[in-house]
Amino acid sequence: MNAYIDTPDLMGKSQGSCALPHLGVIHAQGVDAAHFLHNQLSNDFVLLASDQARLAAFCNAKGRMQASFIGFKTSPEDVWLVLRQDLLAQTLKRLRMFVLRAKVVLHDVSESFEVRGLMGAAVPEALAAVPWSLHMAGSAWTVRLYPAQAQGRALQILPAGEASAASPLALADWQLGEILAGVADVQAATFEAFVPQMLNYESVDGVNFKKGCYPGQEVVARSQFRGILKRRTYIAFASAALQAGEEVFSAQDTSQPAGVVVQACHHPVHGDWSLVCLQNSALEGGGEALSTASGAGLHLHALPYALRDDI
């Protein structure tokens, strides 16, 4: 397997708050809101507690992810989903197709709310230290995310126009933190490219294998329990800028792509970093000779969490 390169301390004492305009919000409202989403997504929303959030995938019948969410409940009849803006309209349309007789209405409320990223001292002290914890204070809702190295991270949803009291955080610092935390989301460039385990979702509590059926559930479960997970996502440093959806090749076989860039960022100080979904076979023999079609070389770095091969 690959001899991973140790990741240097890139985040330092990064702290503050920044707007995340690439994220939008869907509001599911009604007595069946939690049950409806429970039956559509990869995670449990029926037993979602008031101090918890969920990472979840929305899949097609073949188990391929059409969107990813961070979701939480503020009342028994109000569930909120945060996702990429470039997938929001089509995701909302598809979710509405499944409503049928369920007592739930779904709305795009992105214009009414602002999504912000918090890092370091800007993360509320009252928020539990466990990832996917939820803290509600006044009109703001804050979700604990996986940390970036030693820096705590959180997602905050608050009414549009409400000022943040935290010091400004550079968007590039936030984007780098997303990569180093190792938890990817789905965007337009990677629509239907992955089953949840390819993005390590079962290892970061994004899949519940004990809940009932949802679209693609049979494929997701079979991938897990029959031991056929052939792709995983890793952190990589690149010698040039990358884009989500860009193919990655191994020197062992340049005729077929060995993986794809899931998420990428350019940092003005620390360079180009990405999350890359790779075939396990590409890591055999060291996996050092990875590159894109444009010639950017990749060097893998260890994930900050353990991969769960068996749930």
Mean pLDDT for 204-222 is 91
Alpha helices in 121-227 (DSSP H): 171-181, 217-225
Q: What tens digit of pLDDT does each residue of 130-164 get?
A: 999 999 998 999 999 999 998 999 999 999 988 77
Both tokens of 101, joined, read: 């007789």
- Full set of structural domains in the chain with CATH: 16-169 (3.30.70.1400), 188-301 (2.40.30.160)
pLDDT at 1: 38
Q: What tens digit of pLDDT does each residue of 96-127 get?
A: 999 999 999 999 999 999 999 999 999 999 99
The pTM of this model reads: 0.94
Q: What tens digit of pLDDT does each residue of 226-279 get?
A: 666 789 999 999 999 999 999 999 987 778 899 999 999 999 999 999 999 999
Give dist(CA 198, CA 184) in Å, integer. Answer: 10
pLDDT bucket at 288, cuts 50 / 70 / 90: low
Give dist(CA 198, CA 64) in Å, integer. Answer: 10
The radius of gyration of the chain's CA atoms, rounded to the nearest angstrom, is 19
Alpha helices in the chain (DSSP H): 33-38, 85-97, 171-181, 217-225
**Exposure letters 52-90 (e unless 16+ CB within 10 A, then b):** bbbbbbbbeeebbbbbbbbbbbeeeeebbbbbbbebbee
Task: Give the mean pLDDT of the chain.
Answer: 92
> How many C-beta atoms lie closer than 10 Å to residue 124's C-beta?
16
CA-angle at 190, arms to 265 and 153, nearest 5°: 45
pLDDT bucket at 286, cuts 50 / 70 / 90: low
